[in-house]
Structure 1
Amino acid sequence: MAYGFVGISLFIILVYFIGSLYIQQNKYKLLAEARKSIETKFHSIVSIKNIHLSIIEQFPNLSIQLDHIDVKGTMYDVHQQKIFTAKKVSVRIKPLPLLIGNIVFSKTKINNGHLIIYTDSLGKNNLEELTKKRKKEKESAFPIPENIELNEFNITIKDDQKLKNIQFYINYLQVQTKETDQITELFIKKNMTVHSLTFNHLKGSFLKNQLLKGKYTLELNNKSQTLSAKNISLIIGSIPFNINGIFDLKKEGKFKLNISTKGIPFDIAQLFLTKNINRVLKFITITKPLAIEANITGPLSGGEPHVIANWETKQTTIGTKQITFTDADVKGSFNNQVKKEQAPSDSNSSILLTRLIGNWHSIPIRTTNIQLNNLTNPKLRGGFSSQFDLAKLNPPLNTENIVIKNGIGKINIDYDGPLNNILVSNTKITARLQIVNGEIYIKPIQKDIINTQAEIDISNNAVEIKNLTARTKDGSILNVTGISTNSLAAIPNTPGKANIILNIKSPFLDLNNFSAALQHNSKKSRKTNKATFSKIDHLLENETIHIYLDANSIKWQKLVATNLKTSINLKTGNWELSNLSMNVGKGTILLSSKIINNKGSKTISANYNIVGVKADELLYGMGNFNLPPISYKNVRGILNIKGHLIGPLNQQGDFNPNQIKAQFNFRLSQGALINYAPLIKIQEHIFKKRRLDSLRFSNIQNDITIQNGNIHIPRMEIATSVLNLFVGGDYGLDGKTNLHIQVPLNNITQRDQSKKMLNVSNKEKGGTSIFLSAISDKTGQIKLKLDPNGSKYKKEQIAQ
């Protein structure tokens, strides 16, 4: 055995020596024959630098090696494009036939080569003359080998007319053939890189810079002239694919391919696609790998193939900047020939979601109808519906001012518009939200709204409250309709400010604690900006809200009123109350006011007109207006007041009497003073036997000024059922009281006061009188004493 191996080895060395000697001696003849054979076969101009016999290149086999081959077609002078170049071409010689003296070639190996097929803009091809002239010819001195191996080899197919550019770099490719009667099997092993797979350079390349690696078999049917692939395993990039297909190699032939993979990350899949398709897909996020199956058909002569791809993934996050779904099970498809009468193209393409089951901000959703059409100018169309726990709306609302506690929500959302450059003119977002038995906490008014039933329509950034009914725990009942524009963030950069109009009707409204909305702004921890539909916090702080309020009955503090009607404007943190009217008993209150927010401090200004209201009811209801000199316990009568006030609001939304400025005219008719302390104190000096604890009077009228905690009372006559007197001066809320009291001496004699009560005049002199002063001491207590300046004060007041 050993002797046999040694003998064969010596024989090969001998053949190599003899062959090398022969090639060396006949080098130029052999080069000429090789060139002629190639030129005849391919109708080209050939250059070969060297030829020699090698035992190393395809060891242990002998091979004939050609160095630096250069092949130019007949169109080279026109295109300056060669057909083929190679640094080294090695043709293996079968060893066994050498034993009987025959030379048979078995394998061709090409290193550092380049194959170029070029078509210019006029459709002229650098292989055109070869195609025209080539006919059946006698077998050349270099017959077609049984197999071929390429190393570091480039293939370029460029068509300037069809805008096609295909470039492969072959790291390693080996093709072996096995023939039967009708079938030629091609055993292929390859490792190559796709630099470009461009069918139209305006659209970009598929598989750009992706590695293709695999080992598989193709079948060539010589009778039907078809090439088929069955269950080929191929690595593209780093992803395993399974490929089946058939290629019709006849003239005008077509191909069909089925390509599938069980798991490819979405970002990796984008690397396989053209820049035009990725221009659309870059706006979409899919976090879990996709299972994809694609069917591709098209002509071998070139042109856009028809692609239908189906894909699915589970438990993924999928969405765009506008809307994102989590924990989603998704099925979809891609078709680049939606309209069959039109050729495949990006503009004739669509991506369809045939199933999407997942969550939108923890809200369960389900849809079978989301489409992305026309990848040249992509347009998204579709929507979803859901029934859900209403509290799950809190995250997408993303507001600190509204907290949803309970209830059932039903929502339908539809979108029709582009993925990018979203504008009101090109986008339509519609939604309907239904609320059943909702409980919602409204932070600015610190109230829980319960038993909420609502039907709300959304169109782009506009919201229409078709109907909303609710109650509060204190018994208020709300019936609300309204509309707002530019109040959502669904369409960004919408021109114009938000404008909200609310119509509120109520059979009963308890306004207590609503004043919390007037509190000073406290420092908030801002929520991070999220991709939600809400701008509620911004609206409440910066935009315009118009409220038209109509309530049959209201309660504020202890005041009960009926038939309240008003309009309220809230704008950039300021409030304006216009034309408020309401009935208190048989009387009416008219009010217009403004609340101005300046760097967190709120100031109120108001014009008011009180007509025919019972004084004790008003004072009781309004907590005596925080003015110590008067109380609902002491005053009776029909009150008319008209005036204006301005002042800051405290943390509770009330004003501090020491800080307000006010001017008003009042008239108290058919009145009485009951246990009024300043009058009772007079009995310490005079009229000790008279009842000053219950005094009736016809009219008291004056113009009052309040400023810096001081109530200024011009001299006025009080003609009561027991006596008449004059009072004027200043009552200090901060303990600086100085009142002048004039008691005419004609009061000493008891008389019928009814006539005098009807003829009251603040300019009346009063005749001979006792003058007293009510002055507060250091402790704030008011003391009565004789007033030496009383007469002077009277004259000054009368003279004014």
Structure 2
Amino acid sequence: MRKFITWFFGLTALLILGAVGAYYLAKKYEEPVRNYIVGEVNKRLQSPVHVSDINFSFLERFPSASLVMDSVWAEENIIKIGDPDTLFFFSKVYLNLNVFDIIDGQYKINEIETRDGFMNLFVDEKGYDNFHIWVKNQDTTGFLLELDKVHVENTFLSYRNLSREQEYFMLADDVDFKGRFSDESYTMSVAGDGFVTDIVIKGTSYLRNRVVNVRTEMDIINSEEHYVFREGELKIDNLLEFEVTGELKGQGADLHVIGHDLDIIKSLALIPQESRTSLDAYSSSGTLSFECNLEGAFGRTTNPSFQANFSVNNASISKEGTNWKLSNLTGSGSIDNGSKRNFATSSVSVSDLNGQLNGDAFTTSFTYRNFTQPELSGDINLRTDIGATKEFFGIEWIEQGSGMLTLDASISTILQNPDKPEARDFLNSQASGTISIRDATMKLKDDVRNYSIDSAKLIIVNNALDIQYYSGKINSCQMDLQGRATGFLDYFFSENGKVQVNGSIQAGDINLEELFPTRNKASAEESSVVVAFPSRASWNLDFEAETFKNGKLVATDVVGQLRMSSFKVEAVNLEFNSQRGEVKGKAGLYRFSDNQYGLKTEFLTNQVDAKELFKTFNNFDQEYVISEVLEGKLDAEIRFQSFCDSLFNIDKQSIVCSADLLITEGELIGFSPLIDVAGKIRKRKLISLFVAEDELTNRLQHIEFDSLTNQISIRDGVISIPQMAVRSSAIDINISGTHSFEDEINYELDFALSEILELKNRKEPYNEYVQRDSKGNTRIYLTVKGTVDDFDVDLKKSELRKSVQDQISTETKTVKGLLNEEFGIFDNDSILHVEEEPTELKIEFNPEAGTEAADDTLTKDAASPTEEKKLLNRLIKKTESDKKKLKDGDFEDDDF
């Protein structure tokens, strides 16, 4: 214990003695050392150095004595480059000296230390710098004769050389420089850690935000600016280790860099940022070997030659957030900046790269030339799952997919912007190869349909794709396709590329509701097609289908041509069987705005079952003539156009239609609107004088006719029916008029009194209500006005009939003119060029033996308008059986 106490007090006394001695020596030598060093520094500087405080210490940097300066900063040398700024700043600077040299009176610095500061070094376009602050021709050998170490800690260095287009930004965390700095030629060792913020050479970033570790030795000849790397080690991000040898002389370089066992993704990330996309989401394993030579000068307009060779062995690459993985990668390649030593002549080549994509083997080789406007050429042989291909190539228009894809192809093209390929990049591309697909399923972006491919073989021919065969389904619709897709590479690799498909398609059962996106349906029998056009594709296909279905419409043996683009879909040269008959024609749907479409059709029907037709189309959304009361075969030529929305809701007021109709073997069974006419006649006592309403009602219960022809037109929500002469098993009758979509009716009809005459053996002359036709038959003329639920039947003056018929005929011609003007579908229709009034149409229905057909032309001199007798007097003369009724005044206003 005594011994310990003795040592303790002895050491304490020694320390106190040393501290006192150090304090004494510092006080003794502080003034001469400070005056000498500050004086020597000021003699050698062109720009002033500012120091907030200077102290001399024997203990702070023991065993060296140290002149400690706080908050040291200097101004730029601004003789040539403008307003001054701060050249450097350090919170602490230590100038360390040997203690024994001080005692001998020699004040020579052997070490400099800086802490917590920055240096801004700058060279302008003409080569003038801001950091030559030493006075020229001043000898520094005596002053810095013993300097052999510089230590820099937590100092940011910024070096910008505009004349050479170079910028260096880095942080020195802890760096030591050792060497005989006062010698003309010496060996310097550098060791330390730092962080490179950026290195930019001629606008290109080469190393950004990287941790670096440096260990190197170099021979330096100051007078020649000659630096020879004996050996050097450079570590980046604590992962990439490079050996550096060679030399720097003046502006020239001749360096040899070798890297072993490098991380692949981290190495690729060293490629200049302007020529690569972000690799932060990728990870890798395996080894990359790298060897390069850098030779030449970093001039204002020139770069050194750069050549590198690399190889990978047993490597793997994957991407975060995806399911694909490249594994067992083995191959080699090279990098060369070309004859002009810039990005325009640079290239990367990979030869015979073998590996696996999600366990499926592949081989590839490619060359990437000209980093400013890259030219890509290469080939690939791959057999893998479609889902992995979609994620690996970044195919955005495929939402998800599976199935086997076999690809054996090559391509050569120029990419204007490699980060975002555009359609024009592939216009003149050269490509070839084969794509095979089997047992695949896919969902496309913004598309609710399911696509399946049983088998397909596709041949790549430059920017087109020859479809040798394609067999698959869209939802449940089976389709077989052959043809050619022009612009395939545009569509596949870019977001705005368009493809045009020409060919033929064979289908089984097509359900239109499954081919297009659908909406919720109130009834399973209602059509629910939503209009959807391809945004980047156009189709021109000959097609055949066994059956076609849309709602209640079922067609068989369908043939035609399908034309589809982003603004229209057309089916032309259509032929199919439906409603027990044959149909030919064309149909088109055209997009005018987001929710406005134009619909145009032109069809010829042959022996179509009228009942089935009305049933299929839900009685055309009306309840006046329904399928339950109708029988017959329909031959028609129908031209139709209208506007609709994306759900096929027709704007009825926009409908323009012309229909030439022929109905044979026709029947009207229990047609209540016509039967109701007889009921209305019963209430009109004046009309009932001439008509046996019970007989009329009985006959109208079931009407049979052999044929009926007419030409019906629709415009402004009104159906116009020209006069037609109906001869049927029930009654011979002439009918014409109009019927609006609001069920407002205005019909004219006339018939022979001889068929349903109430009064026998009439001999009285005829008036404007009762006339004799050219065959001598007595006829009565009626009008039916109102709505289908509430209408009136009145007598009609015969002389007004012709003007009404003329109006309907004119309307028919107007409708055809509108159709011809807007859609050009009646260019050859003769009705538009006939100046004389057309011959009135006739309809013959089941004529009975010995009965003459009623002529539909009126006797010109019938119903003279100058006749002055009153209506009541004429009726008295012609209705002897009702004289008593007339005398008693039993008639009411409505009877007339």
TM score, norm. by length of structure 1? 0.60
SS in 2 for 1:419: coil
Q: Shift of the alpha carbon at 1:716?
A: 0.9
Q: What's the counterpart of residue 483 of structure 1?
A: 485
Q: Shift of the alpha carbon at 1:59?
A: 2.1
Change over 3 Å in CA distance of 1:629–1:356 after alignment to 2: same
Q: Shift of the alpha carbon at 1:665?
A: 3.2
Change over 3 Å in CA distance of 1:503–1:591 after alignment to 2: same
Q: What's the counterpart of residue 805 of structure 2?
A: none
Question: Is the aligned partner of 1:726 residue 2:733?
Answer: yes
Q: What's the counterpart of residue 742 of structure 1?
A: 751
Q: Deviations over 1:654-712 (max 9, x none)?
A: 9899997654333456x465978799999996699999989674x54333456868784
One-letter code aligned to 2:533: L
SS in 2 for 1:60: coil
CA distance in 2, matches of 1:147, 1:795: 123
CA distance in 1, matches of 2:131, 2:652: 102
Contact kept? 1:52, 1:64, Cα under 8 Å = yes
CA distance in 2, matches of 1:307, 1:729: 93
Q: What's the counterpart of residue 591 of structure 1?
A: 585
One-letter code aligned to 1:490: F
Change over 3 Å in CA distance of 1:654–1:484 after alignment to 2: farther
CA distance in 2, matches of 1:161, 1:443: 51
In structure 2, which of residues 526, 544, 558 is the aligned counterpart of residue 551 of structure 1? Answer: 544
Q: What's the counterpart of residue 755 of structure 1?
A: none
One-letter code aligned to 2:336: Q
One-letter code aligned to 1:798: T
Give the alignment of 1:440-519 within 5 angstroms: 452-456=454-458, 465-470=467-472, 478-483=480-485, 485=487, 488=491, 490-492=493-495, 500-506=500-506, 510=509, 513-514=511-512
Give the alignment of 1:273-672 within 5 angstroms: 277-282=272-277, 286-288=281-283, 294-295=290-291, 297-298=293-294, 304=304, 306=306, 308=308, 316-317=318-319, 326-328=324-326, 336-337=335-336, 339=338, 342=339, 345-351=342-348, 368-369=364-365, 371-382=367-378, 386-388=382-384, 408-411=404-407, 414=411, 416=413, 417=415, 418-420=417-419, 422-427=421-426, 433-437=435-439, 452-456=454-458, 465-470=467-472, 478-483=480-485, 485=487, 488=491, 490-492=493-495, 500-506=500-506, 510=509, 513-514=511-512, 540=533, 545-551=538-544, 564-566=559-561, 568=563, 572=567, 574-581=568-575, 589-595=583-589, 600=595, 604-610=599-605, 613-614=606-607, 616=609, 620=612, 623=615, 635=631, 640-646=635-641, 662-668=657-663, 671=665
SS in 2 for 1:369: strand
One-letter code aligned to 1:93: N
CA distance in 1, matches of 2:196, 2:67: 31
SS in 1 for 2:857: helix
Give the root-mean-square deviation of aligned CA atoms: 7.4
Q: Deviations over 1:482-504 (max 9, x none)?
A: 5355983733556xxx5745443
Contact kept? 1:558, 1:622, Cα under 8 Å = no
Question: Is the aligned partner of 1:108 residue 2:111?
Answer: yes
CA distance in 1, matches of 2:698, 2:169: 123
One-letter code aligned to 1:279: E
Q: Deviations over 1:301-349 (max 9, x none)?
A: 8774746486988564289xxxx9855557898855365xx48654454
Contact kept? 1:741, 1:772, Cα under 8 Å = yes
Change over 3 Å in CA distance of 1:619–1:264 after alignment to 2: same
CA distance in 2, matches of 1:253, 1:575: 66
One-letter code aligned to 2:733: F
Q: Shift of the alpha carbon at 1:584?
A: 8.2
Question: Is the aligned partner of 1:798 residue 2:857?
Answer: yes
CA distance in 2, matches of 1:61, 1:67: 18
CA distance in 2, matches of 1:253, 1:213: 21
Question: Is the aligned partner of 1:93 residue 2:86?
Answer: no
Q: Shift of the alpha carbon at 1:156?
A: 9.4
One-letter code aligned to 1:703: Q
Q: Shift of the alpha carbon at 1:289?
A: 7.2
CA distance in 1, matches of 2:278, 2:228: 41
SS in 1 for 2:491: coil
Change over 3 Å in CA distance of 1:516–1:654 after alignment to 2: farther
In structure 2, which of residues 700, 705, 709 is the aligned counterpart of residue 701 of structure 1? Answer: 709
Q: Which range is displaced more, 467-476 or 15-24?
A: 15-24
Q: What's the counterpart of residue 529 of structure 1?
A: none
Instruction: Name the count of aligned residue pairs.
Output: 710
Give the alignment of 1:186-201 within 5 angstroms: 190=192, 200=201
Change over 3 Å in CA distance of 1:22–1:126 after alignment to 2: same
CA distance in 2, matches of 1:208, 1:443: 37
CA distance in 2, matches of 1:650, 1:156: 65
CA distance in 1, matches of 2:651, 2:19: 118
CA distance in 2, matches of 1:445, 1:52: 79
| Unmatched runs of 5 consecutive residues or more in structure 1 | 179-183, 524-536, 749-762
CA distance in 1, matches of 2:30, 2:517: 105
Change over 3 Å in CA distance of 1:694–1:336 after alignment to 2: closer
| Unmatched runs of 5 consecutive residues or more in structure 2 | 1-5, 181-185, 222-226, 522-529, 679-691, 758-771, 803-855, 860-896
Contact kept? 1:441, 1:447, Cα under 8 Å = yes
Change over 3 Å in CA distance of 1:434–1:92 after alignment to 2: same
Give the alignment of 1:5-20 within 5 angstroms: none
Q: What's the counterpart of residue 532 of structure 1?
A: none
TM score, norm. by length of structure 2? 0.55
Change over 3 Å in CA distance of 1:781–1:550 after alignment to 2: farther
Q: Deviations over 1:570-609 (max 9, x none)?
A: 553x544445455789986442444456764666443333
CA distance in 2, matches of 1:209, 1:445: 43
SS in 1 for 2:494: coil
CA distance in 2, matches of 1:387, 1:208: 38
SS in 1 for 2:273: helix
CA distance in 1, matches of 2:162, 2:450: 71
Contact kept? 1:94, 1:105, Cα under 8 Å = no
CA distance in 2, matches of 1:661, 1:538: 21
CA distance in 2, matches of 1:337, 1:504: 49
Q: Shift of the alpha carbon at 1:280?
A: 1.9
CA distance in 2, matches of 1:338, 1:614: 78
Change over 3 Å in CA distance of 1:168–1:648 after alignment to 2: closer
Q: Deviations over 1:739-776 (max 9, x none)?
A: 8573674899xxxxxxxxxxxxxx97564468799999
Contact kept? 1:63, 1:91, Cα under 8 Å = yes
Q: What's the counterpart of residue 868 of structure 2?
A: none
CA distance in 2, matches of 1:570, 1:47: 77
Contact kept? 1:624, 1:632, Cα under 8 Å = no
Percent identity, please: 10
CA distance in 2, matches of 1:685, 1:93: 142
Change over 3 Å in CA distance of 1:440–1:718 after alignment to 2: farther
Contact kept? 1:595, 1:604, Cα under 8 Å = yes
